[in-house]
């Protein structure tokens, strides 16, 4: 891996965070010197990721999981995908970190310290599903530009923080409020301070949901730097790009937010189906909101070997954006017939649901197990890649694993 600019310019505290220990004689370290531990940045060590994670890009960092790494009910940091649009902040001064609520539709602009957020407002914990809008992009044909995510840009960790609605109501929401937009401290790849790498948002009804929170803990610990420390917006069930990291400002807008990655074709799909490869005008694109129904077989790994006459236990997770998954099925004959899986209720709204089944095979040979979820409105996953779109978003085709019976 190449050296990163954020490593070269990092402060002693950032070095210590990345290395995992204080630099004892850091005060005497030559200016501009990079500790040996960081001269060849290893993302698996730097971000405490499992060795089976897959690096898609290192400027900015984008890393995804493989299906078997997502078997835990609550996703650990080691298996959580990383999606960045810019450079991870170099300096995090927690003691002086603030969050400002402003915008055309705020009654009175207010600024809070982290300590004030934690002491003034009631704290809540939710397990929330975050999936990149481009998860599964690699399967689209014609190919779509962008990180070629396969199936691992999803996770469901436990997040603790304060409800965004409590802060917005404390500042005051004007009757003409339409949207919120977030702003953060990550830097644009060009290093131009006037450019934001990403500044997305959501309509007011989503912003005011109980489960939309400003989180400062993940899985009962401080949020890891790569996942938004010290403050992150979490909007479960919607594209993970709505869940802004390193927050320092939220604007209450009187219009659809027009920040970076809100205009053009970013995080949008055609409002009506289009033929593969066609160009779509911006006015004919619609912003992605609730993510579609989807599932993932996390155990066993693809390529499983089974003895003739033995059953194979399968398990995984299913999710459906704002909705619950009502039904879960599997097929061993390429979708000709389907059998039911056991599907659990979610821990809370917007958390993924766990499924399991014991699969029997009629004879020796090669099989594929396909998994299909159906949401509460009766919409099921397509067996193959759904309708093409220019940016390769929302691929919710059935996940499949290979099995050999001998």
> Residue 3: its pLDDT value, please?
43
The 10s digit of each residue's pLDDT in 261-282 is 999 999 999 999 999 999 999 9
> Residue 30: its pLDDT value, please?
78
Count of domains for the chain = 3
> Residue 1: its pLDDT value, please?
39
> Residue 39: its pLDDT value, please?
57
Q: Are residues 249 and 331 in the same domain?
A: no
Q: To 5 degrees, how large is the angle CA 176–CA 202–CA 122?
A: 90
Q: Quick one: average pLDDT of 354-378?
A: 98
d(CA 380, CA 289): 18
Q: What is the average pLDDT score of the chain?
A: 94
The bridge status of strand 179-184 relative to strand 247-253 is antiparallel
**Model confidence at 90: pLDDT above 90:** no
Q: Are residues 36 and 174 in the same domain?
A: no
Whether 380 maps to a domain, the answer reads: yes
d(CA 299, CA 195): 43
Q: Are residues 242 and 136 in the same domain?
A: yes
Whether 7 maps to a domain, the answer reads: yes
Q: Are residues 127 and 249 in the same domain?
A: yes
Domain end call among 263, 287, 311: 287
* 156 vs 5, higher pLDDT: 156
The boundaries of the domain holding residue 21 are 1-41
Q: What proportion of the chain, given as a percentage, has pLDDT over 70?
A: 94
Q: Quick one: average pLDDT of 184-190?
A: 94
Please name every residue paired with 315 in a beta bridge, in sequence order, or none if there are none. Answer: 299, 356
Q: Are residues 101 and 32 in the same domain?
A: no
Q: Are residues 269 and 301 in the same domain?
A: no
- Asked whether 271 and 285 are in contact (CB, 8 A), the reply is yes
Domain end call among 287, 306, 338: 287
> Residue 120: its pLDDT value, please?
97
Q: Are residues 105 and 244 in the same domain?
A: yes
> Residue 42: its pLDDT value, please?
84
> Residue 25: its pLDDT value, please?
82
Q: Are residues 318 and 248 in the same domain?
A: no
Say which CATH number the domain at 271 has: 3.90.420.10
- Asked whether 360 and 405 are in contact (CB, 8 A), the reply is no
Say which CATH number the domain at 360 has: 2.60.40.650
The 10s digit of each residue's pLDDT in 216-265 is 999 999 999 999 999 999 999 999 999 999 999 999 999 999 999 999 99
| Choice among 190-194, 204-208, 246-250 with the minimum mean pLDDT | 190-194
Q: What proportion of the chain, given as a percentage, has pLDDT over 90?
A: 87
The 10s digit of each residue's pLDDT in 302-325 is 999 999 999 999 999 999 999 999
Q: Quick one: average pLDDT of 368-387?
A: 97
Q: Are residues 146 and 253 in the same domain?
A: yes
Q: Which of 155, 179, 150 is nearest to 76 (CA)?
A: 155
> Residue 36: its pLDDT value, please?
63
The 10s digit of each residue's pLDDT in 1-34 is 344 444 445 566 776 766 667 778 878 877 777 6
**Model confidence at 366: pLDDT above 70:** yes
* 333 vs 42, higher pLDDT: 333
Q: Are residues 211 and 274 in the same domain?
A: yes
* pTM of the entire predicted model: 0.89
Q: Are residues 276 and 321 in the same domain?
A: no
Q: Which of 359, 355, 286, 287 is nearest to 324 (CA)?
A: 355
Q: What is the dihedral of CA 164, 168, 174, 180, to 10 degrees?
A: -40
Buried b (16+ CB within 10 A) or exposed e, 131-149: bbbbbbbbbbeeebebbbb
Domain end call among 261, 287, 313: 287
Q: Indicate if the alpha-carbon torsion angle 340, 345, 351, 354 is positive or negative.
A: negative
Whether 73 maps to a domain, the answer reads: no
């Amino acid at each position: 891996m190449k050296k990163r600019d954020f490593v070269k310019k990092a402060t002693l505290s950032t070095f210590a965070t990345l290395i995992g220990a204080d630099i004892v004689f850091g005060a005497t370290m030559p200016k501009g010197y990079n500790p040996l531990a960081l001269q060849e940045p290893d993302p698996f060590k730097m971000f405490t990721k499992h060795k089976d994670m897959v690096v898609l890009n290192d400027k900015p960092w984008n890393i995804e999981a493989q299906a078997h790494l997502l078997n835990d009910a609550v996703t650990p940091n080691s298996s959580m995908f990383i999606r960045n649009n810019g450079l991870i902040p170099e300096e995090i001064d927690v003691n002086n970190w603030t969050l400002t609520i402003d915008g055309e539709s705020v009654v009175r602009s207010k600024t809070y310290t982290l300590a004030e957020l934690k002491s003034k407002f009631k704290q809540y914990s939710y397990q929330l599903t975050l999936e990149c809008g481009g998860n599964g992009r690699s399967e689209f044909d014609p190919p779509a530009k962008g990180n070629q995510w396969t199936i691992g840009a999803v996770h469901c960790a436990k997040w603790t923080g304060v409800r965004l609605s409590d802060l917005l109501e404390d500042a005051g929401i004007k009757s003409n409020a339409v949207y919120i937009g977030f702003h953060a401290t990550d830097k644009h790849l060009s290093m131009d301070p006037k450019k934001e790498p990403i500044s997305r948002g959501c309509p007011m009804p989503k912003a005011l949901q109980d489960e939309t929170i400003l989180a400062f803990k993940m899985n009962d610990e401080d949020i890891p730097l790569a996942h938004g420390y010290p403050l992150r917006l979490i909007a479960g069930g919607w594209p993970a790009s709505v869940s802004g990291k390193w927050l320092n400002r939220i604007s209450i807008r009187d219009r659809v937010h027009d920040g970076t990655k809100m205009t053009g074709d970013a995080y949008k799909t055609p409002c009506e189906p289009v033929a593969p490869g066609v160009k779509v005008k911006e006015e004919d694109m619609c912003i992605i909101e609730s993510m579609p129904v989807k599932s993932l077989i996390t155990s066993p790994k693809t390529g499983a070997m089974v003895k003739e006459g033995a059953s194979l236990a399968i398990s995984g997770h299913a999710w459906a954006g704002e909705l619950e998954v009502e039904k879960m099925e599997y097929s061993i004959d390429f979708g000709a017939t389907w059998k039911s899986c056991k599907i659990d209720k979610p821990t809370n709204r917007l958390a993924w649901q766990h499924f399991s089944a014991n699969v029997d095979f009629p004879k020796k040979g090669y099989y594929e197990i396909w998994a299909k979820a159906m949401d509460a409105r009766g919409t099921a996953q397509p067996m193959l890649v759904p309708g093409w779109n220019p940016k390769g978003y929302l691929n919710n085709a059935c996940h499949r694993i290979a099995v050999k019976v001998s």
